[in-house]
Structure 1
Amino acid sequence: MTSDLAQYRIADFLAWHRSGQLELNPYFQRRSVWTQPARVYLIDTVLRRLSMPKVYLRTSIDLRTQQAVREVVDGQQRLRTILDFAHDEFALTSRAGDLSGLRYSTMNEELQEQFLSYTLSVEQLLNASDSDVLEVFARLNSYTTTLKPAERRHAEFQGPFKWAVHEAARRWTPLWEDYRIVSVRDRVRMGDDSTIAELLGVLIDGVRDGGEPYLNSLYKRMDAEDEEAVNSLLARLDDLLNDCLDRLGAAIRDSPLARRPQFLMLFAAYAHQVSGIPSGDLSRVPDRGTMLEPEKAIANLRALASSLEEDDPDTLPALQRRFRAASVASTQRIASRETRFEAFTRALLGRR
């Protein structure tokens, strides 16, 4: 067996499919079926000229027809989605932004050209046996980095909640680029998606034990939620984040409060005061009150931030001392979160 890396346009795949030279269902293909949001997301990727993973084909020669036959080894769902869109079998949805509502037949000629000329990287396995194909997959898997929990969730769940989280993570670039809530390294492994999901979790469940088990259960519970309910939840998150950063951003930027565990609890305290959140796992939910003017709240928050950098914590006031101790404990556990939630609440309300 030999392999050959090549580039082919979508128009080539359409021609092969029409002539019977493309087989989408060889027996070693997975049988999973993509949801409609996933299909729309792929076409959006094509039309915006963004990249996608390689397609693997097993290519052999049919001696009777004297033509090449290409069996899809990996990439069946991507190619089936592309073919279905080209045949006008579905329209783009709001998942595609300004392209929403378009079918192939209703796109202008420029967009049709972009679609047909999009190139896919193809690894051709030439005259490969079944054993050869399995060996290729074994080698690929041996080099693949183990998926992070956020990446596994993105692959497993396909409901509106997963897509809303992902789109919000892309939309909220100020959180990552201006405030550095999540590092670039963590964003590569979808840490921004996890952070958005945690913020939504606060609005859904209140302050609870966190970590990957909670996020897994949240995605599972929300996977069947309808799109209208999810969009309403995202709109609430957007409003609260915009308001919080407008009022308190000066205390967060370039501060220890921009660290993900601190920002999450600060957001929880702010959301509770603005609109209320469920009690979650808190032993006592603080009363809601009138928040201080931004300048005074920012001063209080900066005092909490400075406590995290104090060399001699014994000199700190009691509230800051408790806040500091909770911040160096396991920040995912409810004991730490409850202490920090209370400290942020007191800072926002001006209570000692």
Structure 2
Amino acid sequence: MADHGLKFEIESKTVAEFRSLDKSGELILQPEYQRQAVWPERAKVSLMETILLGYPIPEIYLSYETSPEGEQTASVVDGQQRLTSLLEFLNNKYPLEGLEDETLREKFEGKFFKELPDAVRQEFFQYRFPIRRLSNLADEFVRAVFARVNRVNMVLTEQELRNALLPGPFNDFLKDCAAHQISAKSGVFSGERRKRGGDLEFYAEVFGTCIFGLSNKKAELNERYDKISADFEEYQDRSAEFLELLTVLSDTIKWVGRTRWSNIVDMFTLLHSFWGLREELGKASPDQRTQVRDLLDLFQRAVSVRKRNGENGETASLLESLAAMVDMTVEDVEQIVEEYTSGIRNSSDLGSRRVRSRQLTLVLSTKLKS
């Protein structure tokens, strides 16, 4: 058994003690490696019901650090969702709605914590959580414990585990990508996807594809992520280019409502295709960029109509306009749109990705390489 000098002490803390730790600022609910609070309200209420019933709750992992001046903090390694839900309830952020126990439902359904009887609140404060205490551990070991506990419990996504185990410049770069205005303008990420690190994973995959080429997502993502994270200095210049590309595209594309570029599959293809044309895009005149803007809008509309098998008249009109814009025959344009649309199926498959990127690049080249 590996001996890292780890200390895991078993103790317990009352609800009142957790409240005091939080009020004093000694409780760190969301260390950098933790995910955001994502529990739905029904899960929060279920936990509060468990406490009211006096039933046991799985242990919470806390990592304690004590400074030379005697100041102490407790970071939540495992149990963030539980403690966040608890503190929110104590602060009257949500009521007890949807209680399962019949007796509790009759007494407390719809009530906030402040509305519970004094005796019930007093007993609630005395409920004890089992604690696994980690004392003065190096950050790498705390992260390892966090990842392993959550991997065993199967509660974290792959990206949440990467965030925990691989902090540093690459992770910071991905956060910059996720915070870029193009993410908000496109509406490509749902709130749930962002909470679970899906936006970071998306940009990690796209950036890795730009550097190493197209691949099957499942087969290559982890290996590429590890390599870039370990040697990020080698990719520093290209990361700056990638952020610049995001800015140019954010300012170029016509963001009106939801477009094809609001879908993960199409946004992936858009970024990969433009990465190969970034030099041409950077040199493009204002008139060329306007043409690219109109071309992309027309192309995505044609794909959307083709995908939903729109009326023949609508399809024909879009294809004719697109053909005129790229100086091709309607038949050639129709084939491009058809092949791109077929590549949306099996979206992460390597062959489908190649088809989509090839067809979009072919269309874009008519304006950027002319």
TM-score normalised per structure 2 = 0.52
Matches for 1:79-158 after TM superposition, within 5 Å: 79-80=64-65, 83-84=66-67, 146-158=155-167
What does residue 250 of structure 1 align with? 255
Shift, 1:350, TM fit: 3.4
Identity %: 16
What does residue 303 of structure 2 align with? 304
- 1:4 maps to a residue whose letter is T
In proportion to residue count, which structure has more helix? 2
Conserved? CA contact 1:164–1:230, under 8 Å: no
Kindly tell me: are residues 178 and 156 of structure 1, through their superposed partners in 2, closer, same or farther at Cα, counting changes over 3 Å?
same
Any idea what SS the aligned residue of 2:14 has?
Answer: strand
What does residue 321 of structure 1 align with? 338
Kindly tell me: are residues 178 and 229 of structure 1, through their superposed partners in 2, closer, same or farther at Cα, counting changes over 3 Å?
same
Q: 2:129 & 2:309 partners in 1: Cα distance? A: 61
Any idea what SS the aligned residue of 1:74 has?
Answer: strand
- Find 2:243's aligned residue among 238, 244, 251: 238
Shift, 1:336, TM fit: 0.5
- 1:146 maps to a residue whose letter is V
Q: 1:85 & 1:211 partners in 2: Cα distance? A: 47
Q: 2:295 & 2:68 partners in 1: Cα distance? A: 56
Shift, 1:73, TM fit: 7.4
Conserved? CA contact 2:181–2:250, under 8 Å: no
Q: 1:85 & 1:13 partners in 2: Cα distance? A: 18
Kindly tell me: are residues 126 and 259 of structure 1, through their superposed partners in 2, closer, same or farther at Cα, counting changes over 3 Å?
closer
Residue 350 (structure 1) aligned with residue 366 (structure 2): yes
Kindly tell me: are residues 296 and 321 of structure 1, through their superposed partners in 2, closer, same or farther at Cα, counting changes over 3 Å?
closer
Conserved? CA contact 1:161–1:230, under 8 Å: no
What does residue 198 of structure 2 align with? 191
- 1:243 maps to a residue whose letter is V
Kindly tell me: are residues 332 and 4 of structure 1, through their superposed partners in 2, closer, same or farther at Cα, counting changes over 3 Å?
same
Kindly tell me: are residues 300 and 214 of structure 1, through their superposed partners in 2, closer, same or farther at Cα, counting changes over 3 Å?
same
- Find 1:266's aligned residue among 254, 258, 270: 270
Any idea what SS the aligned residue of 2:192 has?
Answer: helix
- Find 1:215's aligned residue among 210, 221, 244: 221
- Aligned structure 1 segments of 4 or more residues deviating by more than 6 angstroms: 10-14, 85-88, 140-143, 312-316
Shift, 1:86, TM fit: 6.9
TM-score normalised per structure 1 = 0.54
Any idea what SS the aligned residue of 2:277 has?
Answer: helix
Kindly tell me: are residues 10 and 297 of structure 1, through their superposed partners in 2, closer, same or farther at Cα, counting changes over 3 Å?
closer
Please give the per-residue CA displacement for 1:217-239, whole angstroms capped at 9, x wherever unaligned.
1121122224x545433321211
Corresponding residue pairs, total: 238
Q: 1:85 & 1:230 partners in 2: Cα distance? A: 39
Conserved? CA contact 1:159–1:224, under 8 Å: no
Shift, 1:142, TM fit: 12
